[in-house]
Amino acid sequence: MEVKDANGNLLNEGDTVVLTKDLKVKGTSVNLKRGTTFKNISLTNQADEIECKSKKVKGLILKTAFVKKK
């Protein structure tokens, strides 16, 4: 399964990604700002989702359409 970012670049386990859009996290009052960097991403079973670690939100799942590889 190939996982691609918003620009079409291939994503792998452990890559670093940057948000391309401000996002409100469902179920919380947290807003993630554009330009936020996530290191050591994990791939999920879905081709359009990745798992990120954030200080503000535990177990954060992001759509790949909102991130680009750094």
pLDDT, one tens digit per residue, over 10-67 is 999 999 999 999 999 988 898 999 999 999 999 999 989 999 988 888 889 999 999 9
DSSP H or E segment with residue 63: strand 60-63
Q: Is the pLDDT of residue 1 over 90?
A: no
Domains of the chain from N-terminus onward: 17-69 (2.30.30.40)
Name the residue among 10, 69, 32, 8 with its Cα closest to residue 61: 32
Whether the model clears a pTM of 0.95, i.e. scores above it, the answer is: no
For residue 16, give every residue at least 6 positions away whose Cβ sits within 8 Å of its Cβ, in sequence order, or none.
Answer: 37, 38, 39, 40, 41, 69, 70
